[in-house]
Chain A
Amino acid sequence: EPEVTQTPSHQVTQMGQEVILRCVPISNHLYFYWYRQILGQKVEFLVSFYNNEISEKSEIFDDQFSVERPDGSNFTLKIRSTKLEDSAMYFCASTLRQGADTQYFGPGTRLTVL
């Protein structure tokens, strides 16, 4: 069964460093998302992406964050200058169509900022 994959599974970085989290959505899906889950808290929406542009973003998704689909398969989340509070599990998700479809989630990348 097709699945969303994410790399790396765990990333440790120093505060102020840039990180890029990578995702490969399900191959025929068109809508892509990033969510995060701080330890012990709810899963929170960050951003959605369609047709090579951001379609929606939350207030968490400030200028430190950016997303990109650099080729036909990868979808990346970049954090320019990491802060301690960026430590969280980051999940990528995808859907085939807008609206009615199930969102399929990847296994997540655990980001630890020291």
Chain B
Amino acid sequence: KQEVTQIPAALSVPEGENLVLNCSFTDSAIYNLQWFRQDPGKGLTSLLLIQSSQREQTSGRLNASLDKSSGRSTLYIAASQPGDSATYLCAVRPPREYGNKLVFGAGTILRVKS
């Protein structure tokens, strides 16, 4: 059974700092991995999707990498801003023949102080 773990559980940084959020998964046989942002009491906003054949994806100040063989992904946030404060969720999708469901980690709560 696929398990997704995110470290750290919470992170507080001063504005402007570069930071890395970590995601690990127990079964390396994944189809893709998606990073989401969740604001308190709100829905999930998709940030980046990495296919299993890719090593990284970039969007603005965000860069996500994937090392499938070791079961790890990182989300790098450059020049953090107070508006980046949110919970960041990592989710993996199993191989195609096992359906479309996403398996989520518990998230990293990020606070960027001004």
**Contact residues of A with B, CB < 8 Å?**
6, 31, 33, 35, 41-45, 48, 55-56, 58, 91, 95, 98-108, 110
Contact = CB atoms under 8 A, between A and B. Distances in A.
Interface of B: 31-32, 34, 36, 41-46, 49, 51, 89, 91, 93, 96, 99-107
Contacts of B107: 42
Nearest to B89: A43
Enumerate the 9 nearest inter-chain pairs by beta-carbon distance, A residue then B residue, closest first: A107-B43, A45-B101, A105-B44, A56-B99, A43-B104, A102-B49, A108-B43, A42-B104, A102-B46
Contacts, number: 61
17 contacts: A42-B106, A43-B44, A43-B91, A43-B104, A44-B104, A45-B102, A48-B101, A55-B100, A95-B100, A98-B100, A99-B96, A99-B100, A100-B32, A102-B34, A105-B43, A105-B46, A106-B43
Contact of B42 (A48, A55, A107): A107
Nearest to A104: B46
